[in-house]
Amino acid sequence: MTQRSPEAQRYHALYRTALWRQLRLAQLAREPLCWMCEELGEVTAANTVDHRKAHKGDPALFFDPGNLASLCHSCHSRHKQRLERGGKVVRYGGDGYPVD
């Protein structure tokens, strides 16, 4: 199990609300494919709903449908997390060349 910061532990309950479950399902229905994979020309089903702008427990950002994006598990756990930690992500297209 991943250790969460005290701040993250406080807002983690938002993910268990009925409103979040509804928003999550609506987002995946609206955008069923991972947007990061699509940028590379790959077709990958999304199974994770991510917040474009980190909400840090702000309910207005957390429940804002315009702040949501569909990702596959791989992109969410690798690329998006690295970006949020201030790292750089180099992704490669099907031709093997880096994609900006």
Q: pTM (2 decimals)?
A: 0.74
User: Token match 């702040």: residue?
Assistant: 67
The number of angstroms, rounded, from the C-alpha of 77 to the middle of its chain's C-alpha atoms is: 8
Sign of CA dihedral 37, 99, 91, 87: negative
pLDDT in tens, the chain (100 residues): 456 667 777 788 899 999 999 999 999 999 999 998 998 889 999 999 999 998 889 999 999 999 999 999 988 887 666 566 555 655 566 666 666 6
Cα–Cα nearest to 11, from 46, 55, 72, 73: 55
Q: Domain spans of the chain?
A: 6-86
Token pair, residue 20, equals 């979040």
Token pair, residue 80, equals 């998006």
Contact 91, 98 (CB under 8 A): yes
